[in-house]
Every structure is written in structure tokens, then in C-alpha cells.
């Protein structure tokens, strides 16, 4: 399984500098998983969401299940990890 360190360059440059939509779709599930698990720097989130947002509605319907799975995974991770110690540290 690809690590956050291995995918970090692609997270910054995929579709902008190199790669095509098919390659982006290939790596996207793992990139989203790394964001959800907070293994990938959250600075990547806006850039990935921008690249995803302008394309996902045009992708084939058979990929809708994968998108739904990642949304559910993100929600479960959020519910299981909040509140975190860092969230209240500034109070």
C-alpha cells in the first residue's frame, strides 16, 4: 500500500504537472484515505478537493459507490476521533 510519503509529490502535482484524469482516479481513493486518517498533510485537502470537484460529476455512475464509501469512511473517522485533545487546547 502506498504511504503518505510516497504519494506526497503526486498529491501536490497530479493533474497540474503530470498525469491524466485516469491516473488521478486511480490514486484518488488512497489519497482520500490518507487525508481521512490524517497521514497526509491537510494542506493537500483544498487542492485535492478542487481537482476532484470539477470532475467527479462527469465520472461514470459505477464509481459513485466508491465516492459514497469514502464519504461514509470520513464521517465514521470524524465521529470516532472527535473531540480530540488538540481541538480544545487553545481554550
Residue 26 confidence (pLDDT)? 87
Whole-angstrom distance, CA of residue 91 vs CA of residue 85: 11
Whole-angstrom distance, CA of residue 19 vs CA of residue 48: 14
Residue 90 confidence (pLDDT)? 38
> Does a cis peptide bond (omega within 30 degrees of 0) precede residue 83?
yes
Q: Find cell 465520472 and name the residue.
A: 59
CA distances from 24 to 10, 28, 76, 88 (A): 9, 6, 25, 36
pTM of the model: 0.65
What does the mean pLDDT of the chain come to? 77
Q: What is the mean pLDDT of residues 18-34?
A: 86
Instruction: With a cut of 50, say whether residue 29 has pLDDT above it.
Output: yes
Amino acid at each position: 500500500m502506498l504511504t503518505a510519503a510516497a504519494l506526497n509529490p503526486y498529491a501536490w502535482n497530479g493533474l497540474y504537472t503530470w498525469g491524466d484524469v485516469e491516473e488521478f482516479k486511480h490514486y484518488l481513493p488512497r489519497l482520500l484515505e490518507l487525508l481521512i486518517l490524517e497521514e497526509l498533510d491537510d494542506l493537500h485537502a483544498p487542492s485535492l478537493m478542487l481537482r476532484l470537484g470539477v470532475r467527479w460529476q462527469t465520472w461514470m455512475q459505477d464509481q459513485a459507490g466508491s465516492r459514497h464509501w469514502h464519504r461514509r469512511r470520513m464521517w465514521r473517522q470524524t465521529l470516532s476521533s472527535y473531540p480530540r485533545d488538540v481541538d480544545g487546547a487553545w481554550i
